[in-house]
Amino acid sequence: MIENNNRKIVLITGASRGIGAATAKLLAEQGYSVCVNFLQDQNSADKIVSEIKSHQGNAIAVQADASKEEEVIALFKVIDDSLGSITHLVNNAGILLPQMPLLEMNEDRINKILTTNVTSYFLCCREAIKRMFNGGSIVNVSSVASRTGSPNEYIDYAASKGAIDSLTKGLSLEVASKSIRVNCVRPGFIDTDMHADGGEPNRIERIRQSIPLGRGGTVNEIAKSIAFLLSDDASYITGSFIDIAGGR
């Protein structure tokens, strides 16, 4: 295992696209050594790493299904050996499935959402905390759906994000005495291709008028809030939530 020598080492799950990719680039600019975790799209993950390295940053791309315990353990071993013990974690991996009301959902869909969006956060938090010997910072990416419930569209996704809100609050209290901070961002309607996963790529345009600020958010706006919560500028903030939703 490499000693981190007070370096900032961050794992970002689901970092090959969208919010995760933007956060990886921003944190690398701020001096973090970055592990870009991805599930399938190695091409995109490698491009992010190449871009970071082209700007004299330090990054690796590691494939792992963050919802599977043995793969998470292997992921952290690679980080230990390549970068050192992580000091920061961004739990971002998650999926969205096609819109439908609860009456049309089956067991496989519900369990896939919950396992991917919830179990992965628990497992990565556990392994990160084991390594945060001198304190650390964790940011969980939830969603304003945890407050709205996403009726008739993504009630399963909303429920999974509600679980992340509870994890954030409870874990922040468990590990405060270890000088580990746990916080959460709750994005609203952000311009990513995740909406296409849900079957409505132009969803933001449809609901834009219901957003007080009149537009969707950008991945860079989310990344900046994540970076703030990870940083020493937020050193007295734990168990807290930032809603980044244009007023919704």
Candidate list 32, 121, 157, 236, residue with the active-site label: 157
Rounded CA-CA distance 72/210 in Å is: 39
Helix and strand numbers (H, E) in the chain are 10, 7
Q: Please, what's the b/e burial string for 76-102 (b: 16 or more CB within 10 A of its CB; e: otherwise)?
A: beebbeebbbbbbbbbbbbbbbebbee
Rounded CA-CA distance 61/161 in Å is: 26
Q: What is the longest distance spanned by two Cα atoms in the chain?
A: 53
| 157 labelled catalytic | yes
Residue of 51, 3, 19, 243 whose CA lies nearest to 147: 243
Q: 2 in helix, strand or coil?
A: coil
Rounded CA-CA distance 73/40 in Å is: 18
Residues 6+ apart with CB under 8 A from 96: 154, 157, 194, 195, 197, 198
Can you tell me which residue has the tokens 């939530």?
Answer: 241
Q: Which residues are catalytic?
A: 157
